[in-house]
Amino acid sequence: MSSAEGIALRSLLHCCLSALLLGVWPPLSSSAEALRLFSQEYPPVNFSRDGEPVGMAVDVVRELARRSGQPITLEVVPWARAYREALALPNAGLFVAMRTAEREPLFQWVGPITVNITSFYGLTRSAPSIDSLDDARHHGEIAVPREWYSHQLLLAEGFTNLHPVPGPDMVVQMLKHGRVRLMVMDNLGLSAYLARGGLREGEVKLLFSFLRSYSYIAFSSETDPSLVARWQDELDGMKRDGSFAAIHHQWLPGQEMPGLRAQP
């Protein structure tokens, strides 16, 4: 090895050691394999507009990819497909997903991205009185998005009067047309889904909140753990420097913002 090569090697080793000690991540190679990231129609957090993914979480994910130098592809697909792909594929992820005890060992998690409050809702003109989960069991069928975390939780609670449907748009339609007296919805998507279903917010009444949860980016178990760790560090950095708050306020004004690395 020539003296010039030795100097270059020592310089490279010094830079790498300094990066490790200071927690500074070098940019990924532009030839790195693109992450495949899937999301669903869940406005205003993630959804499609004119065929392009947009929303609060989409802006966060794009900024995380920029900061880490990681190429990505984004696809908005039905929830069942998004979940299946993120579960099985290497270098893949799903956002946003609720971090539940059942899902915990299936994915690697980066977040939290949002704070969600899930509740029972009814039409204001005919809403029953509900003060507990037990009350909700006695008011006929309850419309709930199939295989959402809220559906899974209520099944685990022994509910036998659930009417699962393909998505929240149909949940709103069932309530609007009187096919059910109750629907399950979370606070972040409520306004958008009511508007899409032709209901004003004043026509729907919050009856009982039963679940507080955090959403995350869920990476497949086959994704490189060091990449996942880097995305978590970059997300924490966004929360410290205020850029996360700016995105959150733009899309979710007045809603609670998550802190650093909240637990499921």
pLDDT surpasses 90 at 15: no
Model confidence at 12, pLDDT cuts 50, 70, 90, reads very low
- The answer to whether the bond into 61 is cis (omega within 30° of 0) is no
The pLDDT tens digits for 187-230 are 999 999 999 999 998 999 999 999 999 999 999 999 999 999 99
Token pair 């039963």 is found at 210
CB-based contact 59:251 (threshold 8 Å): yes
Does residue 173 register a pLDDT over 90? yes
163 has which bridge partners?
Answer: 143
pLDDT average, residue stretch 221-249: 96
| DSSP line for the chain | --HHHHHHHHHHHHHHHHHHHHTPPPPPPTTSPPEEEEE-SBTTTBEEETTEEESHHHHHHHHHHHHHT--EEEEE--HHHHHHHHHHSTTEEEEEEE--TTTGGGEEEEEEEEEEEEEEEEETTTPPP--SHHHHTTSS-EEEETTSHHHHHHHHTT---EEEESSHHHHHHHHHTTS-SEEEEETTTHHHHHHHHT--GGGEEEEEEEEEEEEEEEEETTS-HHHHHHHHHHHHHHHHHTHHHHHHHHHSTTSPPP-SS---
Residue-level pLDDT at 24: 45
- Identify the pLDDT of residue 29: 39
- Contact present, 180 and 141 (Cβ < 8 Å): yes
Of 4-8, 126-130, 248-252, the one with minimum mean pLDDT is 4-8
Q: What is the pLDDT of residues 118-148, one digit of tens each?
A: 999 999 999 899 999 999 998 899 999 988 8
Among 198, 190, 202, 199, residue whose Cα is nearest residue 254: 190
pLDDT given for residue 167 in this prediction: 86
What pLDDT, on the 0 to 100 scale, is given for residue 97?
A: 93
What class has domain 116-212? Answer: alpha beta
Segment 90-115 mean pLDDT? 93
> For position 108, what pLDDT does the model report?
96
**pLDDT exceeds cutoff 70 at 80:** yes
Locate 175 and state its tokens.
């309530």
Question: Tokens 């809603």 label which residue?
Answer: 255
CATH number of 31-115+214-251: 3.40.190.10
Query: Which residue intervals of the chain bear CATH 3.40.190.10?
Result: 31-115+214-251, 116-212
Token readout for 116 is: 């969600």
pLDDT at 156: 92
Using CA atoms, how far apart are residues 185 and 24, in angstroms rounded to an integer? 41
User: What is the predicted pLDDT for the residue at 32?
Assistant: 64
- Of residues 115 and 263, the one with the higher pLDDT is 115
Smallest CA-to-CA distance from 55 within 256, 260, 247 is with: 247
Which pLDDT score, from 0 to 100, does residue 16 have?
44
Once rounded to an integer, what is the mean pLDDT over residues 255-264? 78
For the segment 17-76, what is each residue's pLDDT rounded down to a tens digit? 444 444 444 444 333 688 999 999 899 999 999 989 999 999 999 999 999 999 999 999
The confidence score (pLDDT) of residue 147 equals 81
Q: How far apart are the first and last CA of the chain?
A: 53
